[in-house]
Amino acid sequence: MSSPTYRSVAYFANWSIYARQYRPQYLPVQHLTHILYAFANIRDTGEVVLTDSYADVEIHWEKDSWNDTGHNLYGCVKQLYLLKKANRHLKVLLSIGGWTYSPKFAPMAATSASRSTFAATAVKLATDWGFDGLDIDWEYPQSTEEATNYVALLYECRRALDDYGNAFTPTIHFELTVACPASAKNFDNLNIPAMDQYLDFWNLMAYDYAGSWDMLAGHQANLHASRLMPHTTPFNTTDAVNLYLGKGVNPSKLVMGMPLYGRAFEKTEGLGRPYDGVGEGSWEKGVYDFKALPLPGTEVTYDPEVVAAICYGITGEPPNKRKVLVTYDNRDVAVAKANYIRERGLGGAMWWESSSDRQGPESLIRIVTDTLGGPGVLQQRSNCVMCPETQYENLRDHFAQG
């Protein structure tokens, strides 16, 4: 019997190149099968458009020439293509929406014309960049009508991707995925069986179970519920996994998301207790990169019952010393979640988002893939590097001149 093959999926956000100083070149591609490039936006007409053309296609890095003639591609997209060219089993999908742009989905998906425009322009943009498909991140449909429209939108995307792929000889399959919710109030609004027929896999957003919107400090990405202190685990991943599988999703198509960040609670006496504020965080209030954790002065505790970790204690220097608790995934959690993926026969792991991880052997991405069995057990499906219709001359030439 052949060994199982897993997907290893990481989001790369185009804003990472600025203050975070994180480039596509830094991605741990030997431990990845998919990169989800975030995010594209949606116009009222349904047209899918860039959110940052400088980051996407303009910025020049060290080996990029300023003397090229013609209309050429640079930026993050060029670097992602070069990664694909050097790693032929690495796929890149264009992710559309996300939390910021998701309000655009409901009105757009409500009409046949705008759904068609969305699909056509999304496929045109992705294939113009040499990408391998689309990732739809609608957070979240709120009614039966919106769920029906979501299915219709996925149908249009699947058809447009197939039409493009069928023009090649031999034909090429371009992938379609979604980022899907892990909380009942959101997945109850989805028509999961109808969606599933159009999808290559589901990226389960198994994080943000607790945060600044709550009254009590709690775990934000726990695998299981707590029997002893249920108020510390308002949601859990196992319930979500069981829901999707119960709706007919094949386990091999369900990819379990994990956070590369922690959520903080300040002035609290611990899990399940009130708090006052969330602090500054690494780049946004109350959110710390994994590579910044545990915070200095805190003690790490791993709970094997729920599969979750916290760091808790007094951190900072006078006059800014304060008691803080951060809920996050550490090495122990990553290993346990990888084993869970294997035991349940799931399709792999996904992370939000790649700039927050450590480099080298302490990378959570690397720890999970190594626990699954190493790069050799990752999915080996060829990407597409042919872009015959692209507007970019150097991409059409596969960057033969660098």
Alpha helices in 50-101 (DSSP H): 53, 75-86, 98-101
Report residue 325 as tokens. Answer: 């608790």
Q: How far is CA 59 from the centre of its chain?
A: 23
> In the chain, how long is the greatest CA-to-CA distance?
67
Q: Which helix (H) or strand (E) holds 126?
A: helix 112-128
The letter for the amino acid at 255 is V
d(CA 373, CA 3): 10
The letter for the amino acid at 159 is R
d(CA 251, CA 240): 12
Report residue 220 as tokens. Answer: 């934000």
**Angstrom distances, CA of residue 163 to CA of 119, 158, 192, 309, 387:** 11, 9, 24, 46, 15
Report residue 52 as tokens. Answer: 């940052």
Say if residue 343 is exposed, middle or buried (CB neighbours under 10 Å; 0-12, 13-18, 19+): exposed
% helix / strand / coil in the chain, to the nearest 5? 35, 20, 45
Given the residues 47, 58, 139, 146, the one annotated as active site:
139
Report residue 297 as tokens. Answer: 């002065």
Active site residue 343: no
Q: Which positions are catalytic?
A: 139
